[in-house]
Amino acid sequence: MKVEILETLRNAEGFVSGQELCEKFNVSRTAVWKAINTLKKEGYEFEAVQNKGYRITKVPDLLSENEWYSINKNQWVGKKVKYFENIDSTNVVASHMAEEGAEHGTLVFANQQTMGKGRRGRTWISKPGTGIYMTLILKPDILPNEASMLTLVSALAVVKALEEVAGIEGKIKWPNDVVVNGKKICGILTEMSAQIDYISYIVVGIGINVLGEEIDEEIKNMATSLYLETGKKINRMEFMEKIWEKFEAYYEIFLKTKDMSALEKEYNSYLANCKEKVCVLDPKGKYEGTAQGINSQGELIVDTWEARRLVSSGEVSVRGIYGYV
Ligand code: BTN
């Protein structure tokens, strides 16, 4: 009932009267009052005015399943969620859950990770209370070679949500980082369990440094937090909700063609280094060229002095020629 009351108050334009809440949920005044008090203990603040009712004035930066259910408006992403105060890695847990039958759209999130995974075996620093660490389970009807495009779809959802909740323009460092003012604030790790022609499941893990007030020395020159860049303390749960709202919409578009043809233009408008010189760190050899944007297959088009090359994500990483971005 507490969740339902919270949901009603969060979605209301102004005050909601106690009477209205009693009638809506068929409970007594005392029950409403008790629920409001429990919410206050959790950090919510309300304005209570006689003859008008209640209005939410402050939402705490709290991660919880209840908080998620009270704001989630998606059709299928996050219909079921699992929250951990502390976990090794949301990608690892989500993979186990997917194997055990968790359904398409299940979302796993945590307040802290002790063994957050980055790409290529790197670790993802995941301090408590400052970041978003979340993983979505997908069981899509696509081919294994189409799966890497879901990273691009996710990056697009993150920059779009960033624009709406924080009012700043992020850039996508192809394929899977989101950067603000030239430094990384978000990384995406998409992992898959598949046979040659069949996907059993995909997990899309997103890590974002939202509230961090300082950055570890060893990554200081390439990483930052949203707070450090904007001075704003963005509510993590609201940011999460916005990302998955955007993801759901982009995913439906992606599924129609199972490629990026309908999204490439928008993706390219956020692409860092587009039409600029980049350095492609290919294990077979490093080369330079001009990034021209992605194509419908999600490959990065790079024109070198001798030919046009199509870079697919895998082991390759792309840098601007003057540093990390
Ligand atoms: C990268 O840039 O190297 C990718 C980082 C991905 C980090 C996220 S945090 C949530 C999810 N769980 C993990 O263990 N990793 C991803």
Per-residue pLDDT of the chain (325 residues), as tens digits, is 788 898 899 888 899 999 999 999 999 989 999 999 999 998 899 999 999 999 999 888 889 998 899 899 999 999 999 999 999 999 999 999 999 999 999 999 999 999 999 998 999 999 999 999 999 999 999 999 999 999 999 999 999 999 999 999 999 999 889 999 999 999 999 999 999 899 999 999 999 999 999 999 989 899 999 999 999 999 999 999 999 999 999 999 999 999 999 999 999 999 999 999 999 988 888 999 999 999 999 999 999 999 999 998 766 778 876 667 7
Q: Which of 108, 130, 206, 224 has the most ligand 1 atoms within 8 A of CB, as the residue to mutate?
A: 206
Q: Which ligand 1 atom is the nearest neighbour of the CA of 118?
A: 3
Nearest C-alpha to atom 9 of ligand 1 is from which residue?
Answer: 207
| Strands 81-84 and 107-110, sheet pairing | parallel
Of residues 106, 110, 50, 60, the one with CA closest to residue 85:
110
Whole-number pLDDT of residue 323: 67
Residue 154 CA to ligand 1 centre (angstroms) = 13
| Strands 177-180 and 171-173, sheet pairing | antiparallel
- Residue 40's alpha-carbon distances to 33, 36, 44, 45, 153, in angstroms, are 11, 6, 5, 6, 38
Question: Is the CB–ligand 1 distance for residue 135 below 6 Å?
Answer: yes
Question: Is the CB–ligand 1 distance for residue 89 below 6 Å?
Answer: yes
Residues near 145 by Cβ (< 8 Å), separated by ≥ 6?
Answer: none
CB count, 10 Å around CB of 281? Answer: 13
CA distance 201 to 192: 6
Question: Is the CB–ligand 1 distance for residue 189 below 6 Å?
Answer: yes
Question: Is the CB–ligand 1 distance for residue 70 below 6 Å?
Answer: no
Whole-number pLDDT of residue 2: 83
CA distance 93 to 115: 11
Residue 215 CA to ligand 1 centre (angstroms) = 17
Whole-number pLDDT of residue 11: 85
CA distance 64 to 71: 11
Structure-block tokens of residue 272: 């860092």
Hey, is 123 helix, strand or coil?
A: strand
Q: Phi and psi dihedrals of 271, rounded to 5?
A: -75, 125
Whole-number pLDDT of residue 276: 92
Nearest C-alpha to atom 11 of ligand 1 is from which residue?
Answer: 205
pTM over 0.85: yes
Q: Which amino acid is at 19?
A: Q
CA distance 276 to 303: 10
Q: Which ligand 1 atom is the nearest neighbour of the CA of 119?
A: 3
Nearest C-alpha to atom 16 of ligand 1 is from which residue?
Answer: 205
Whole-number pLDDT of residue 229: 95
Q: Which of 133, 151, 325 has the most ligand 1 atoms within 8 A of CB, as the residue to mutate?
A: 133
